[in-house]
Amino acid sequence: MATQQPTYQAYTVVKREGQDDFWLNIGAAFMHQDGEGFNIVLQALPLNGKVVLRLPKTQDEPPQQLANPKKRETSRS
């Protein structure tokens, strides 16, 4: 049986006063073979109860490269 790659990485976001938020990797989500759902495997539970799923980054890309949703510019018309 081949090893399945995660579809998403699971993070909890730790708010830090005066600093950027810290994204802590706590697990992964794997798509079902039929494409109709996911198995989520967590190695830890978030203290705030919130899990953020993001597409996996490449191996050579450091975790701090993750986009901070609060910093994204949104255009509202």
Q: Where in the chain are the domains?
A: 8-71
**pLDDT tens profile 30-75:** 999 999 999 999 999 999 999 999 999 876 555 554 445 444 444 4
Beta bridge partners of 52: 11
Assign 77 a pLDDT band (cuts: 50, 70, 90): very low
* C-beta separation of 11 from 44 below 8 A: no
Angstrom distance (rounded) from CA 42 to CA 9: 10
**CA gyration radius, the chain:** 15
76 to each of 35, 70, 71, how far by Cα in Å?
A: 33, 15, 15
Tell whether pTM > 0.75: no
Burial of 11 (0-12, 13-18, 19+ CB in 10 A): buried
